[in-house]
Amino acid sequence: MDKIVVLAAGASSRFWPLAINHHKTFYRLGIGKTILEETVEGLLKSKRGVEICLVIAPRDLDLAKELFEAQENIKIFVQKEPNGAGQALLLAIGKGFSGKFFLTGGDKINAGLILEKLEENDQAIAIRKTTEPKHFGIVDLNSSGFITSVVEKPGEGQAVSGNKITSAYLLDSSFLPFIEKFESNHYSLEEALNEFVLKNKIKGVFVDDIEDTRLKFPWDLLDVNKKVQKRKHTHLIHDTAEISKSAVIEGDVYIEKGAKISDFVKIVGPVYIGENSFIGDFSLVRENSFIDNNVIIGAHSEVKNSILYANTTIHRSYVGDSIIDSNSRIGGGVVLANKRYDRGDVKSAVREEKLSTGLRAFGAVVGFGANIGTNVTTMPGVKLGKNATVWPGCVVLEDVPDDQTLK
């Protein structure tokens, strides 16, 4: 193994209304680290000493330097335009590279474990079973387990199999000329793979036994956060945190410096409370919640399995199975409803198509800088765009676009 390439520069259009100000892998979760940090840590454990090349977008350069520049064997490359994974790969390792490389996405926090499994073969691609092939790159296998074709997001009824690529590739430099042939194509990686597998023996390795993480849709953040918190299994309260004597703290709870937990608050872990955050009297913060830095949760609120990013304020509200991006304000009496009346899977619109989230409990996704007035109710699966505003008393039945107001 000569190089590891981690991709974190894509446009992430299916992640709306999140990832507006930075790439989706730069969101913090778990116990306060970004998703990209979690991925890199896992790779370092598996392959310490191997050079890791991070490919990021220009807007994330300062943050990437802050997180990784001082670390040995990590190099940062900037993909100026989101022109696909193939171009990003060539940018990171160079057209003259000779040797073997591992290519993966920045959201694959278990990439280190997947790499260890792929290395049992000369060249291999990680795959998993799926019942929704139209959302993924799909491969067909021969009787020996070698890949015979690659199809990117096949149309309805056109999938050759239910074997999806899981963004983890162990290949050698003989693959690079195939990438160069399609370099100007946004799907150059997929096009190159389809030709490459016809002329080379590439094993399709099932990794269903390794816990999957993905960030294809915004609600996937909840699942990744839950898995990281479970894995970290950490209980820590900083010396400078102020905890009321009447507060009840149960399970794995991580409370950062300067946080204040008021009277009769109950926190049931795993939960993370960031620096200088405030939890008001009689509030309940339940399992698998991530409360970022400088968040204010007003008295008599309930937060369940939710992510509240920095500088967000909520007042006497219910936030269930929801994600609230930074700098948002939630008025008193707001309910981010998280279950359908029939208790079926919650659906949410992505690119004007209603998709099943696969979740029986899923609330709202609130974009950066959004404002929700008092006594508002949002229906399960609704999303509010960046700087969106909802007037008091509204019932939100559909998504609200960026910078728009619902009256």
User: pLDDT tens digits, residue range 356-380?
Assistant: 999 999 999 999 999 999 999 999 9
217 within a domain of the structure (yes/no): no
Q: Is the pLDDT of residue 229 over 90?
A: yes
Determine the distance from the C-alpha atom of residue 102 to the mean position of all C-alpha atoms in its chain, rounded to a whole number: 20
What is the number of structural domains in the chain? 2
Confidence bin at 284 (pLDDT 50/70/90)? very high
Residues 172 and 288 reside in one and the same domain:
no
> CATH number of the domain that 124 lies in?
3.90.550.10
Same domain, yes or no, for 184 and 253?
Answer: no
What residues are paired with 308 via a beta bridge?
Answer: 291, 324
| Average per-residue pLDDT for the chain | 94
151 in the same domain as 295 = no
pLDDT at 186 exceeding the cut of 80: no
> Does residue 136 surpass a pLDDT of 90?
no
**pLDDT tens per residue across span 318-327:** 999 999 999 9
Assess whether 241 and 196 both reside in one domain. Answer: no
Q: How confident is the model at residue 161, as a pLDDT?
A: 86
Within this chain, do residues 339 and 201 fall inside the same structural domain, yes or no? no
| Residue 142: burial class (beta carbons within 10 Å; 0-12, 13-18, 19+) | exposed
Instruction: Extract the tokens encoding 231.
Output: 């894995």
In the chain, % of residues over pLDDT 90: 81
Q: Which of 81-90, 132-141, 195-204, 375-384 has the highest mean pLDDT?
A: 375-384
What residue numbers bound the domain in which 254 lies? 234-406
Above 90 in pLDDT, residue 108? yes
Whether the pTM exceeds 0.85: the reply is yes
For residues 230-241, give the mean pLDDT: 93
Report the pLDDT value the prediction gives residue 129, as an integer from 0 to 100: 93
Tokens 């872990």 sit on residue: 269
Mean pLDDT in residue range 207-223: 94
The yes-or-no verdict on residue 206 having pLDDT over 80 is yes
Based on the fold, state whether residues 117 and 265 are members of the same structural domain: no
> Do 241 and 199 have their domain in common?
no
228 in a domain, yes or no? Answer: no
pLDDT band, very low/low/confident/very high, at 111 (cuts 50, 70, 90): very high
pLDDT at 118: 96
Is the pLDDT at 94 greater than 90? The verdict is no
Would 84 be classed as within a structural domain? yes
Q: Is residue 311 part of a domain?
A: yes
Q: What is the mean pLDDT of residues 41-64?
A: 93
- Asked if the model's pLDDT at residue 83 lies above 90, the reply is no
Co-location of 257 and 190 in the same domain: no
190 has a pLDDT exceeding 90: no
